Amino acid sequence: MTTKGSILSTVGLSKHFSGVKALDKLDITVGEGQIHGLIGPNGAGKSTFFNVISGLLPPSEGEVYFNSVNTTNLPAHTIARMGLGRTFQAARMMADTVLENVMAGMYYYCETDPIRSFILQPRVFRTQEREIRQKAMEALDFLGMKDSAHRWADDLVWVERQLVQIARALVLDPKLLLLDEPTSGMGIMETEEMKGVIRHVRDSGVTVILVSHDVSLVVDVCDWVTVINFGEKISEGNPRQIQNDPKVMEAYLGEEECVES
């Protein structure tokens, strides 16, 4: 059950942690080919939404439809293979090269166990590895990071780490890419670079859901925005409508008051 032209929809989606309603009966529809912003103050439920739709956490109630398939309660690796890629707010890197870090995105979801096939079918393993390496190089090239392929991942600056995470997700040819706070901790120049990358991904045919705390980023790059607070949808519309919605201002103002107190 996906509305025509949509790639993802949730129906009455809830997630409770003990007494906390992290998601509360959320109906969200994401249009195919768009950059869909999901914003809300700290603790609003944004990361939980990503964790539930990508299969990392089971919902307490409700349903998720991805690409016309009911994916509620399917395991994360199955949903990923169906074309849902994601990044995490904390961009953790393996102590290896950039290229190996990107290739890891593919190994994780390989049909075969790489260690097993290395021992039992070395030729198949080598062919598979060559293909994965090529795919990873293509993803790095797409993001303008080909020249960094053999650098040590630990040496990367924050924006480069986010790009490696995106490349790692792109090797699986996702239809939908979830970006969780891709500009957190970045300066103006890096944020501008990331905006270009997000548009570039969307223009290549991948739908993007962008979670961000940064309202100006979302207003700048998103086609459509959903605003949540305390797990509930409080507003929805194009960036201009969101900017002028008193409920949105109130939610963010409340947050500022909390921070100051």
Ligand X SMILES: Nc1ncnc2c1ncn2[C@@H]1O[C@H](COP(=O)(O)OP(=O)(O)O)[C@@H](O)[C@H]1O
> Taking CB under 6 A as the rule, does residue 45 contact ligand X?
yes
Q: Which stretch binds ligand X (CB under 6 A): 46-54, 71-79, 91-99, 110-118?
A: 46-54
> Taking CB under 6 A as the rule, does residue 174 contact ligand X?
no
Q: What CA–CA distance (Å, rounded) separates 79 from 241?
A: 32
| Residue of the chain from 8, 13, 26, 44 that contacts ligand X (CB under 6 A) | 44
Q: How many residues of this chain interact with ligand X, rule: CB under 6 A?
A: 11
Task: Count how many Cα atoms sit within 13 Å of the Cα of residue 77 in the half-sphere of its side chain.
Answer: 7
Cα dihedral: 73, 22, 29, 204 (round 10)? -80
| Residue of the chain from 4, 19, 42, 246 that contacts ligand X (CB under 6 A) | 42
> Taking CB under 6 A as the rule, does residue 212 contact ligand X?
no
Q: Which amino acid is at 3?
A: T
> Taking CB under 5 A as the rule, does residue 47 contact Mg ion?
yes
DSSP secondary-structure letter at 121? -
Show the binding pattern over residues 194-233: x = contacts Mg ion (CB under 5 A), - = does not: ----------------------------------------
Q: What CA–CA distance (Å, rounded) separates 85 from 93?
A: 17
42 binds, among Mg ion, ligand X, none (CB under 5 to 8 A by kind): ligand X
Q: Given the complex with ligand X, which of 202 and 213 has the nearer CB atom?
A: 213
Q: Given the complex with ligand X, which of 48 and 148 has the nearer CB atom?
A: 48
Q: Given the complex with ligand X, which of 48 and 162 has the nearer CB atom?
A: 48
> Taking CB under 6 A as the rule, does residue 258 contact ligand X?
no
Q: What CA–CA distance (Å, rounded) separates 143 from 149?
A: 11
> Taking CB under 6 A as the rule, does residue 175 contact ligand X?
no
Helical H segments across the chain, by residue range: 46-53, 76-81, 98-107, 114-120, 122-142, 158-170, 188-203, 215-221, 239-243, 246-260
Write 231-234 long-range contacts (CB < 8 A, 24+).
Answer: 231/14, 231/15, 231/21, 231/22, 231/23, 231/24, 231/26, 231/44, 231/45, 231/48, 232/24, 232/25, 232/26, 233/26, 233/27, 233/28, 234/40
CB atoms within 10 A of CB 10: 23
Q: Given the complex with ligand X, which of 160 and 180 has the nearer CB atom?
A: 180
Q: What CA–CA distance (Å, rounded) separates 70 from 76?
A: 13
Q: Which stretch binds Mg ion (CB under 5 A): 22-30, 41-49, 227-235, 246-254?
A: 41-49
Show the binding pattern over residues 150-189: x = contacts Mg ion (CB under 5 A), - = does not: ----------------------------------------
48 binds, among Mg ion, ligand X, none (CB under 5 to 8 A by kind): ligand X
> Taking CB under 6 A as the rule, does residue 22 contact ligand X?
yes
Binding footprint of Mg ion on the chain (CB under 5 A): 46-47
Binding footprint of ligand X on the chain (CB under 6 A): 17, 20, 22, 40, 42-48
